[in-house]
Amino acid sequence: MPKKPSQPHSREEWQEAVDAAHTLLLVDSARQYGLIIGGPNVHIERCEEILRQGHERGIRPTDDCVERILGLKQILGVKKGE
Protein backbone atom coordinates (compact mmCIF):
# COMPACT_ATOMS: atom_id res chain seq x y z
CA MET A 1 0.00 0.00 0.00
CA PRO A 2 1.43 3.42 -0.97
CA LYS A 3 2.43 5.76 1.83
CA LYS A 4 0.02 8.67 2.30
CA PRO A 5 1.74 12.00 1.62
CA SER A 6 2.20 14.19 4.66
CA GLN A 7 0.62 17.61 4.94
CA PRO A 8 2.79 20.73 4.92
CA HIS A 9 2.94 22.49 8.28
CA SER A 10 4.85 25.75 8.07
CA ARG A 11 4.19 28.60 5.66
CA GLU A 12 7.46 27.74 3.88
CA GLU A 13 6.39 24.12 3.44
CA TRP A 14 3.03 25.25 2.08
CA GLN A 15 4.75 27.58 -0.38
CA GLU A 16 6.99 24.75 -1.59
CA ALA A 17 3.99 22.41 -1.92
CA VAL A 18 1.91 24.99 -3.82
CA ASP A 19 4.82 25.77 -6.17
CA ALA A 20 5.40 22.05 -6.80
CA ALA A 21 1.69 21.35 -7.39
CA HIS A 22 1.43 24.23 -9.84
CA THR A 23 4.53 23.08 -11.71
CA LEU A 24 3.41 19.44 -11.86
CA LEU A 25 -0.01 20.41 -13.25
CA LEU A 26 1.72 22.51 -15.91
CA VAL A 27 4.00 19.61 -16.85
CA ASP A 28 1.00 17.27 -17.04
CA SER A 29 -0.89 19.72 -19.27
CA ALA A 30 2.10 20.08 -21.58
CA ARG A 31 2.33 16.29 -21.83
CA GLN A 32 -1.40 15.98 -22.61
CA TYR A 33 -1.04 18.53 -25.42
CA GLY A 34 1.92 16.63 -26.83
CA LEU A 35 4.41 19.41 -26.09
CA ILE A 36 6.63 17.13 -24.03
CA ILE A 37 7.15 13.40 -23.73
CA GLY A 38 7.75 11.60 -20.45
CA GLY A 39 8.04 13.19 -17.06
CA PRO A 40 6.64 12.27 -13.68
CA ASN A 41 3.24 10.72 -13.07
CA VAL A 42 1.08 13.51 -11.68
CA HIS A 43 -1.60 12.95 -9.06
CA ILE A 44 -3.89 15.67 -10.39
CA GLU A 45 -6.42 15.53 -7.55
CA ARG A 46 -3.67 15.86 -4.93
CA CYS A 47 -2.14 18.83 -6.74
CA GLU A 48 -5.52 20.53 -7.04
CA GLU A 49 -6.18 19.93 -3.34
CA ILE A 50 -2.82 21.42 -2.37
CA LEU A 51 -3.54 24.48 -4.50
CA ARG A 52 -7.01 24.84 -2.96
CA GLN A 53 -5.71 24.54 0.60
CA GLY A 54 -2.84 26.89 -0.16
CA HIS A 55 -5.31 29.43 -1.58
CA GLU A 56 -7.33 29.19 1.66
CA ARG A 57 -4.12 30.09 3.52
CA GLY A 58 -3.36 33.00 1.19
CA ILE A 59 -0.54 31.15 -0.58
CA ARG A 60 -0.24 31.35 -4.35
CA PRO A 61 2.41 29.92 -6.70
CA THR A 62 5.45 32.18 -6.90
CA ASP A 63 6.05 33.93 -10.21
CA ASP A 64 9.22 31.95 -10.95
CA CYS A 65 8.26 28.56 -9.50
CA VAL A 66 8.17 26.71 -12.83
CA GLU A 67 11.53 28.04 -13.95
CA ARG A 68 13.07 27.45 -10.52
CA ILE A 69 11.75 23.91 -10.05
CA LEU A 70 12.51 22.76 -13.58
CA GLY A 71 15.92 24.43 -13.55
CA LEU A 72 15.13 26.63 -16.54
CA LYS A 73 16.91 29.65 -15.10
CA GLN A 74 20.22 27.78 -15.22
CA ILE A 75 19.52 26.44 -18.71
CA LEU A 76 18.56 29.89 -20.04
CA GLY A 77 21.39 31.63 -18.21
CA VAL A 78 19.18 33.90 -16.10
CA LYS A 79 21.01 35.32 -13.12
CA LYS A 80 19.50 35.60 -9.65
CA GLY A 81 17.40 38.75 -9.27
CA GLU A 82 16.58 39.13 -12.97
pLDDT tens digits for range 56-81: 999 999 999 998 888 875 555 555 55
- Residue 44 near residue 57, CB atoms below 8 Å: no
- Residue 78 near residue 67, CB atoms below 8 Å: yes
Q: What is the mean pLDDT of residues 1-14?
A: 82
Q: HSE (CB half, 13 Å, CA atoms) of 47?
A: 17
- Band (pLDDT 50/70/90 cuts) for residue 52 is very high
Domain boundaries, the chain: 11-62
Q: How many CB atoms lie within 10 A of CB 36?
A: 12
